[in-house]
Amino acid sequence: MNNNIVNLQDKLQALLLSQQGNFVQGSVADYIPALAKVNPALAGISVAAIDGKTVGVGDYQRPFSIQSISKVFGLVMAMNRIGDSLWQRVNMEPSGQPFNSIIQLEWEKGIPRNPVINAGALLVADVLTSHFSASKLAFLSFMRTLAGTEAIYVDNNVYQSELSHGNRNAALAYLMKSFGNIQADIPAILSHYFTQCSVSMSCEQLAQSLLFLANKGVDPRTNEVICSPKDAHRVNAILSTSGMYDQSGEFAFSVGLPAKSGVGGGIIAIVPGYGVICTWSPPLNKFGNSVVGVNLVAAIAEELGLSIYH
Ligand code: DON
- Per residue in 274-303, pLDDT (tens digit) is 999 999 999 999 999 999 999 999 999 999
Report how far ligand 1's centroid is from the alpha carbon of 198 (Å).
Answer: 10
- Work out which ligand 1 atom sits closest to the CA atom of 162: 5
Phi and psi for 268 in degrees, rounded to 5?
Answer: -115, 140
Query: Can you give the pTM of this predicted structure?
Result: 0.97
Which CA distances in Å does 106 have to 92, 120, 172? Answer: 17, 13, 9
**Count of residues in the chain:** 310
Q: Active-site residue 263, yes or no?
A: yes
Helix (H) or strand (E) holding 57: strand 54-58
For ligand 1, residues with CB inside 6 Å are: 67-68, 99-100, 118, 162, 169, 197, 261-263, 288
Q: Is 245 considered catalytic here?
A: yes
**pLDDT of res. 77:** 98
pLDDT < 50 regions, the chain? 1-3
Q: What is the per-residue pLDDT for 4?
A: 66
Catalytic residue among 55, 263, 271, 276: 263
Catalytic residue among 55, 57, 65, 68: 68
At residue 297, the pLDDT reads 98
φ, ψ (nearest 5 deg) of residue 73: -70, -40
- Cα 32 to ligand 1 centre (Å): 9
pLDDT in the model for residue 3? 46
Report the alpha-carbon distance of residue 274 to residue 308 in Å, rounded: 11
Q: What is the pLDDT of residue 1?
A: 47
Candidate list 154, 158, 177, 193, residue with the active-site label: 193
Cβ-proximal residues to 22 (8 Å cutoff; 6+ apart), any chain: 291, 292, 295
Active site residue 68: yes
The ligand 1 atom nearest the CA atom of 194 = 5
